[in-house]
Amino acid sequence: IICSCDHSMASAAAVDTMPDALRQSRYHMKRCFARLTGMGRRLMKFQHIKDEIEQTIEDKIERSKVLEGSLGDILSSTQEAAVVPPYVAFAIRHSPGIWDYVKVHADSLSVDIITSTDYLKFKETLFDEDWAKDENALEIDFGAFNVGIPSLALPSSIGDGLGYVLKFMTSMITRGSESAKPLVEYLLTLNHHGEKLMINETLNTVGKLRAALLIADVFVSALPKDTLYQNFEQKLKEWGFEKGWGDNAERVRQTMRILSEMLQAPDPTNMEAFFSRLPAIYKIVIFSVHGYFGQADVLGLPDTGGQVVYILDQVKALEEELLLRIKQQGLNVKPQILVVTRLIPDAQGNKCNQEMEPIANTMHSHILRVPFNTEKGVLGPWVSRFDIYPYLERFSQDATAKILELMEGKPDLIIGNYTDGNLVASLVASKLGVTLGTIAHALEKTKYEDSDVKWRELDPKYHFSCQFTADMIAMNAADFIITSTYQEIAGSKNRPGQYESHVAFTMPGLYRVISGINVFDPKFNIASPGADQSIYFPFMEKQKRLTKFQPAIEELLFSKEDNDEHIGFLADRKKPIIFTMARLDTVKNITGLTEWYGKNKRLRNLVNLVIVGGFFDPSKSKDREEMAEIKKMHSLIERYQLKGQIRWIAAQTDRYRNSELYRCVADTKGAFVQPALYEAFGLTVIEAMNCGLPTFATNQGGPAEIIVDGVSGFHIDPNNGDESSKKIADFFEKCKGDTRYWHRMSQAGLRRINECYTWKIYANKVLNMGLAYGFWRQLNQEQKKAKQRYIDIFYNLRFRKLAKNFTIPLEGIKPAASTETC
Ligand code: UDP
Ligand code: LCN
């Protein structure tokens, strides 16, 4: 069952055909390669290579002959090529997670399969030749520690880590009569504040446990199903059983039967059922460090968007699921969830300067804010997520002390979110020896082209040297990784995944990563978020509509005068509205949508455009990208004379009012448009769909999976504005002719949400992960320990130094006493 698959074998077959294919088109290929190398050293992306080939082989028929067959397949799978005359080295991605590297000699057309290391060296030559030649350049190889850890084989299995871990564990406990011993030992460790759960030392061998389960099964089966656990607790205790099996006779019998069957003939279904019933997780810590993490007046502020919504909704869903499970386990335990974030003394009128805040709609969950302490005092202002690294080590120490105090001991599960939260979570989890799950719906590496090889150029602005180092530390330290979609891990047919981009990459002068992460690692899981359905409900549920917001929304959309909250106006209010809402980051491409709209007369005639995002005075922004986008918005409105057809509304912070805004847009028979250049998941997409608003969303990233194109919404290509705006215009034209079409799309969107994107599904999956991986890490203790030592070295010798290179702004430092507590 242990599969340490050699994926290169499968892919090499395709590359093997390359010499023949080149030979067959020798004349044209020699010309193409001469052209590629003739322009000197460079890094080329697929589109550039294609353009060059098209320009070299002018004759269409000849060109298609050359590009048909295996050569065409290989070229179309090429992600990039490093041209170092007389060689061109290709990075070929056959399917998600499966790569080959080859170098072709431009004169002889000889083909050599090369290692990823050699390919990276080729690439480095383009940016830092001395480094590429340095025999002692630092190479990072996390893969060296994966020996003996099972890995998946098929790209289609990626993301179903839990399913496979359950299978691997099943096979491990089937290997002989005592192979289930680790499970017994694990059960013996379960306790709540020192009080034993499930079994005690009486049942310290597999044999004793099996025998006791048989006796107990006969006894419990004879009881009326609804007999309360307390009524037969004493009898079970005599045989070595403790609390946690169930709240009544029926539940106890089921749990015991599942375990008996597992010990007799293990199978993954029983394994999952058993782990999902284990009383092992009650105290959860979630780290979400940067931004303004608050429950009101923070959304839309720089760096503060979906992640805050995601974490708060996640907490609510996890607490609900924990309470349900605790009840079913027959325990009287209070769960506790702490979201640990940064305390910002200079909070902009929100509560981010308060130490503790109960989380709304929960009973046992709180936000704990810990300030960024420095040697000179506490940091007062907000800092960008890109500049946060110098503060994290001290933050994790301060946070640990506070958590241990508040939880009166260690948490059972630690979850990190985003680079900073994950790094802190990995430091704390390693220190406390707690199971670690990480989340990074938006790894920055893929957002900026060539951000790795160009790190030196980008570092002053983005500090990617710190960020990518922190990301690799966290993803390797994690026991399991929660992702929102498949594409986040392993991308799509043509685009590598966010995690996949960390498999092999190089930052010349810093280090070369020859194995950063393995996307076939069974730690990867997909658990997609939902939207809070008590807030985002369909527009046609009239009795639930939040009518109190409607006058304000009417003003927000349709009043004629500009003010601090909105500019522009809608001259013809009978037209449907196309609506978008996002932070004004470049990647969100709100300016792109404005331009598409500006250019497309047909669309402008059919609909109005309403945008929520940022604010109007660039000098008021503290965020570099936001400032540039604000200026661009103004110039586009001017250039395309959009006044009368566009309403630009400043960032909105009230989720309830926003939900009603989506519904009011649905009332106009409009649509939501999410035009991002890349979107990791895209909460606005599911919020809009939950409200019954037909949705057009980017085909780059998560929304491509959320929406089935043409069925539950539409995909649009952010890199092809004309095509996208035509698709939107076609939709509204069709709706004009057939109003039922709009309703059909609205309903189909809602169906898709309810089948796949709810918080209930999410919470169930994540708790099961915490439980199963908690045991899995015990089974792989040795490898885990070795890897952790390597991580520690990497952290100490690289990350710390990089983070120390930052200057801590002194003007922001305040004496510790100035923070507020409540
Ligand atoms: N949002 C908001 N006001 C704004 C912009 C965004 O309330 O002005 C909310 C939006 O409703 C969604 C979240 O912020 O809940 C954005 O999440 P998404 O996943 O779309 O993008 P992110 O900001 O995380 O990149
Ligand atoms: C971060 C992002 O970039 C979004 O795509 C996600 O929807 C959000 O986090 C919540 O997961």
H or E segment at 86? Answer: none
pLDDT at site 810: 67
550 CA distance to ligand 2 centroid (A)? Answer: 28
Give 653-702 pLDDT, tens digit per residue: 999 999 999 999 999 999 999 999 999 999 999 999 999 999 999 999 99
Q: Order of strands, edge to edge, in the sheet holding 139-141?
A: 139-141, 511-515, 505-507
Q: Confidence band (pLDDT; 50, 70, 90) for 819?
A: very low
Mean pLDDT of 398-418: 98
d(C-alpha 769, C-alpha 251), whole Å? 22
Give 744-763 pLDDT, tens digit per residue: 999 999 999 999 999 999 99
Mean pLDDT of 223-243: 98
| Atom from ligand 2 closest to the CA of residue 702 | 5
| Atom from ligand 1 closest to the CA of residue 614 | 8
Query: Is the model's pLDDT at 821 over the cut of 70?
Result: no
Which ligand has the minimum distance to the alpha carbon of residue 418?
2
306 CA distance to ligand 1 centroid (A)? Answer: 5
d(C-alpha 507, C-alpha 604), whole Å? 46
The pick from 587, 621, 684 for probing ligand 1's pocket by mutation, whose C-beta has the most ligand atoms within 8 angstroms, reads: 684
Which amino acid is located at 278 in the chain? L
Q: Confidence band (pLDDT; 50, 70, 90) for 1?
A: very low
Query: Is the model's pLDDT at 494 over the cut of 60?
Result: yes
pLDDT at site 822: 31
Which ligand has the minimum distance to the alpha carbon of residue 580?
1
Q: What percent of the chain has pLDDT over 90?
A: 87
Whether 46 contacts 78, CB under 8 Å: yes
The pick from 681, 698, 707 for probing ligand 2's pocket by mutation, whose C-beta has the most ligand atoms within 8 angstroms, reads: 681
d(C-alpha 328, C-alpha 790), whole Å? 41
Mean pLDDT of 629-634: 97
Report the nearest-CA residue for atom 22 of ligand 1: 306
pLDDT at site 817: 47
Query: Is the model's pLDDT at 474 over the cut of 90?
Result: yes
Give 340-388 pLDDT, tens digit per residue: 999 999 998 999 999 999 999 999 999 999 999 998 899 999 999 999 9
The pick from 293, 303, 307, 385 for probing ligand 2's pocket by mutation, whose C-beta has the most ligand atoms within 8 angstroms, reads: 307
Which ligand has the minimum distance to the alpha carbon of residue 662?
1
Report the nearest-CA residue for atom 17 of ligand 1: 306
| Atom from ligand 2 closest to the CA of residue 309 | 10
Q: Tell me the DSSP string of 772-808.
A: HHHHHHHHTHHHHHHHHHHHHHHIIIIIHHHHHTSPP
Report the nearest-CA residue for atom 16 of ligand 1: 306
Helix (H/G/I), strand (E/B), else coil: 439? strand
pLDDT at site 454: 97
pTM over 0.95: no
H or E segment at 476? Answer: helix 464-477
Query: Is the model's pLDDT at 2 over the cut of 70?
Result: no
| Atom from ligand 2 closest to the CA of residue 684 | 7
Report the nearest-CA residue for atom 8 of ligand 2: 306
Give 75-111 pLDDT, tens digit per residue: 899 999 999 999 999 999 999 999 999 999 999 999 9
Query: Is the model's pLDDT at 815 over the cut of 70?
Result: no
pLDDT at site 301: 85
| Atom from ligand 1 closest to the CA of residue 683 | 19
564 CA distance to ligand 1 centroid (A)? Answer: 20
Mean pLDDT of 120-134: 97
78 CA distance to ligand 1 centroid (A)? Answer: 34
| Atom from ligand 2 closest to the CA of residue 679 | 5
581 CA distance to ligand 1 centroid (A)? Answer: 7
pLDDT at site 148: 84
418 CA distance to ligand 2 centroid (A)? Answer: 10
b/e map 345-371, b = 16+ CB within 10 Å? bebeebbbbbbebebeebebbbbbbbb
Does residue 312 line the site of ligand 1, with CB under 6 A?
no
Please choose, from the candidates 309, 286, 292, 394, the residue with its C-alpha nearest in 3D space to the C-alpha of residue 345: 292
Which ligand has the minimum distance to the alpha carbon of residue 442?
2
Give 440-453 pLDDT, tens digit per residue: 988 999 888 999 99
684 CA distance to ligand 1 centroid (A)? Answer: 6
310 CA distance to ligand 1 centroid (A)? Answer: 10
Report the nearest-CA residue for atom 11 of ligand 1: 684
Mean pLDDT of 610-637: 93
Which ligand has the minimum distance to the alpha carbon of residue 441?
2
Of the listed ranges 413-422, 552-561, 675-684, 801-810, the one predicted with least confidence = 801-810
Query: Is the model's pLDDT at 215 over the cut of 90?
Result: yes
Which ligand has the minimum distance to the alpha carbon of residue 585?
1
Higher pLDDT, 14 or 526: 526
Which ligand has the minimum distance to the alpha carbon of residue 611?
1
Q: What dihedral angle (degrees, nearest 10) is formed by the CA atoms of 601, 604, 607, 610?
A: 150
Cα-atom radius of gyration of the chain, to the nearest Å?
Answer: 28
Residues contacting ligand 2 via CB (< 6 Å):
306-307, 310, 441-442, 484, 529, 679-683, 702
d(C-alpha 304, C-alpha 350), whole Å? 13
Does residue 652 line the site of ligand 1, with CB under 6 A?
yes
Does residue 28 line the site of ligand 1, with CB under 6 A?
no
CA angle 306–310–311, rounded 5-degree value: 125
The pick from 581, 695, 759 for probing ligand 1's pocket by mutation, whose C-beta has the most ligand atoms within 8 angstroms, reads: 581
Mean pLDDT of 228-235: 98
Query: Is the model's pLDDT at 10 over the cut of 70?
Result: no
Residue 441 C-beta-side C-alpha neighbours within 13 Å: 24
Which ligand has the minimum distance to the alpha carbon of residue 582?
1
Q: Is the ipTM of this complex over 0.90?
A: yes
What is the distance, to the nearest Å, from the Cα of residue 683 to the centroid of all Cα atoms in its chain? 12
Q: What is the mean pLDDT of the chain?
A: 94
Q: Confidence band (pLDDT; 50, 70, 90) for 623?
A: confident
762 CA distance to ligand 1 centroid (A)? Answer: 19
Report the nearest-CA residue for atom 9 of ligand 1: 305
Q: What percent of the chain has pLDDT over 70?
A: 97
pLDDT at site 820: 39
d(C-alpha 385, C-alpha 303), whole Å? 7
